[in-house]
Every structure is written in C-alpha cells, then in structure tokens.
Amino acid sequence: MAKDFRTFIRQLEAACPEELLWVPGRISSDLEATTFLRKLELEGKAPMTIFRRPTALDGSDSAFPLVFNAFSSRKKFCAALGMDMADYKMTLSLKLKDCYAHRIEPVTVPAGEAPVKEVTVTGEACGFDKLPIPKHHEHDGGPYILGGALVTRDPDSGAYNLAMIRVHVKGHKIAAIHAEPHHHSGMNVKKYGERGKKAPVAIVIGHHPGFFLGSCWEGPYGTNEYEIAGAALGEAVRLTPSQTWGDELLVPADAEMIIECEVDWNDRIEEGPVGEHTRHYKNFKGGQVIQQLDPRLTPVAITHRKDAYFQSLFIGHAEHCLLGSIPKEAVIFEKVRATCPGIQAVHMTPGGCGRYICYLSLKQRVGGEARDAIMAAFVCDWHLKYVIAVDEDVDVFSDSEVLWALATRTQPDRATFVIPGAMGATVDPTVDSRTKISAKMGIDCTKPYGTPFSEVCEVPLDMLANMRIADYL
C-alpha cells in the first residue's frame, strides 16, 4: 500500500500518540487556528493538530479538516522514516542524507487507481472559496497556502521540480505566487513566460512527510525531484495524469488534494506581507508595507479524495524551522568532516530559526582545528551567521548545554572571530536587502587543546547509562 498522509497518522498513533491532537470544535481559519497553535507552543507543545471543523475562505464550514504541525518535532520525522524515537538527533539527519543518495524513479498509474482523483472540480466552482486556507499572523496580507508542494516542469528538459512555495490567495480565482527567478521553480515558470505562455503548475496538498522532505532537497537544477521524493519516502512516488494537461504534467496520485493552476509570469499582482521563517516580516517595516509584485496564479481544476485533509504549515514556527534545518545538518556534517574528521554532530538550533546558528560538536586532533571546522561550516551554507564549536562531551541538541560551554569554557576576546562583508540572507531583518551583506561570527567554546583544564563534576557515567528510574519506584 502506497505511503500517504493517512499512513503518517497511523505512524504517529503507533510510535508517539502524544504528537497528535484532534480538535473537534469549530474554529476559524482566519487567525483563530494559528492562535490556538501559538497558545500550545507557549505551553511547550507542538503536536500535529487536526482541526475537524475549520471555516472555509468564504466563511462557511469547510468540508476539509485543517492540518498543522506535521513537521514540528524531530520525533515526528523519526516516525515518518520508520526510525526508533531515540535516534532523533544526528542519526536522523544522516539517515535522511542516506535516503537522498538512493533515488527511486516514480511510477505512473491510471486516474482510476489514484485516490486524489475521487472528486474533480472544474469551471466556476473551481476556486479557493470552499477551502480552509488560513491567515496565519495579524499583519499578513491575507490567507496563504503554505503547506503545499508546487510541481513545475522544465519545458526544455521535462525534469520535474518540487518546492514549497507560498501562494497569497486574494479571491476565489486569483492568487499571487512567490516564484523567485533564481529558484528552480521560478526558473521553470519564467521559461514559459518568456515564450508568451502560461506555466502549468500543480499544488500538492497533503502527503506523507517523506514526499515533502523530497520537496526540500537542495541540489542541481534539472534533477527529476520526484525521484528525490521517492528516495525520502523509501518507495516510488505514484503519479497520475493531471486533469488539465494529462501526461504533460503528472501529479502525485496519493495526495489529499491537487490544485491545478496556470501562472502568468508577465502579469504581476501585489503579494504579501507574510511572516518569514525569522518570525519577522520582510516587507512590513515601521508599520509600512513595502510593495512586492509576484506572478498571477489562477486555479483551473481541483481534484481531491472524498474525505481529504487540507494540510498547511505554521510559518515562522517549529515545523517551518525543522523542515528546512534537518536536511542541512547532514550536508554540513559531511562537508566539515572533510576538514575535521573528529566532528561528532551538527545541529541547526531552532533558536536560530533553523538557518542562522549552527552548533558543532567535535574532538580535536590538534589545536586550532575547531576554528577550521567553524570556517568549513560557513562555506557550506550562506544562511549561517553564527557557528559555535564545542567539545564532544557537550550535547549540541541541548541549547542549555551549549550555553553552559559558552559560559564556562570561553573568554570573549579569545573565543570569537568575525568575518565581515559576507553574503547574507535577505529575509534576515538585520541584513540590508539591497547589498545582501552580512557579517559572520565564529565562537570556539572548546577547552584549550593540550592544556590542563578544570574537570567536569559528574556522576559515574556507566552507572548513569545503566540506571532505570522505574526500578526504584
């Protein structure tokens, strides 16, 4: 049986039921649902939440349950990949890297075997009004489709691209899509626009997390990313002809919903503002909206399961952070290991939005190696602004452990170095969007190599490893 979103629900129920929350009460998709999630977050909770009775865009009761936080904890990823819950740290990141290395070609099935084809909506009824598309934050420009994967195809090579791209819904049949020309999906859409054509695209709503991990893969343009999604799923993605374009644009057969759309690269409409992964707005400053124009997107057909779920993503919060950071950890680990074989673990801490602060745990061979490792990490990912290196006895998946090392093993004038004038991320509120220039800081929190240093006070580690609290209760 093919993996899908329902498979993931069963995996959570079996492996970590505390990570799943069903909400039976009626709730508005306009800010109320995300306020509910934020309330949970402030209590230290982020279960995958399924609102059974959300409102639709037109204010009516939606037929589609609204889903958030499918990616909000590392244990959820372990469940999705069939791993032991205890392996949620570096083992998880390296497992995903190994998955990506073994691509699996997709297979095509007829529409009659595709669950996503159970219901088809075209014509005037085809639009956004009956969908529970949420408005996420108070100053957002409107409701956004954020949890879907955009399927585009290179008109030259035929290669499929998958990307999680935001869509600002502005009415029943009108939306703006944030297709940037330097992103692979934007490159595909632009090629159609340059030929005077509208680009055929599909938005995939609801699927197994493995499929979306494939959508977050970063690699060479021209790769068939359905193969990458299959690698993360551990099985071939089942595809079926789209309702509008048939075999010219194949779509995932086991999705909850497919929204087929045309994108006009040459027709620009206002997009935003919307919160970013930084939990700040990029184009809303000092109470003023900075106008941004993006291509117009028009829905032309919707197919879905009879009892489809509508999966979204809580932008700027835990699931947004983790979906982007876990794949990066394995890449940085491998690149740093080429310089520093003693690297033990890499963690892109959620406190750094999963992009800007990286922790390295390492066992140095010689003095100064920690600084080499820090510089190697900076080269791996231009988002990084701070890299902190600690000894192998420090758990980099614990912010308090890293801060303990910072507090007890460093002096600021000796432990830090700054690299000025480097490339930065334009969504970082501290980076000038015109120049894109950022400084980088490395912090070496390792003990001085080859010099006696104060010993750590600790209980016997063998006794700690073997002790079971339940035996004493």
- Write down the pLDDT at residue 290: 87
Q: Give the pair of three-digit tokens for residue 222.
A: 């021209």
Query: Mean per-residue pLDDT for 323-351?
Result: 93
Q: How many CB atoms lie within 10 A of CB 418?
A: 9
Query: Mean per-residue pLDDT for 30-55?
Result: 97
Burial of 372 (0-12, 13-18, 19+ CB in 10 A): middle
Give the Cα separation of 355 and 349 in Å (integer): 8
Q: Give the pair of three-digit tokens for residue 336.
A: 């740093």
Contacting residues for 16 by C-beta, under 8 A, at least 6 apart:
75, 76, 79, 85
Under 8 Å between Cβ of 323 and 315: no
- Write down the pLDDT at residue 427: 86
| Angle, in degrees to the nearest 10, between helices 90-100 and 225-233 | 130
What global pTM score does this model have? 0.93
- Residue 369's alpha-carbon distances to 291, 343, 355, 411, 464, in angstroms, are 46, 10, 23, 18, 31
Query: Mean per-residue pLDDT for 24-47?
Result: 97
Give the Cα separation of 456 and 281 in Å (integer): 43
Question: pLDDT per residue over 412-445, tens digit each?
Answer: 999 999 999 999 888 899 998 788 899 999 999 9
Share of the chain above pLDDT 90, in %: 89
Question: pLDDT per residue over 102-126, tens digit each?
Answer: 999 999 999 999 999 999 999 999 9
Question: pLDDT per residue over 226-246, tens digit each?
Answer: 999 999 999 999 999 999 999
Task: Say if residue 40's pLDDT is above 90.
Answer: yes
Under 8 Å between Cβ of 133 and 62: no
> Mean pLDDT across the chain, nearest whole number?
95
- Write down the pLDDT at residue 104: 97
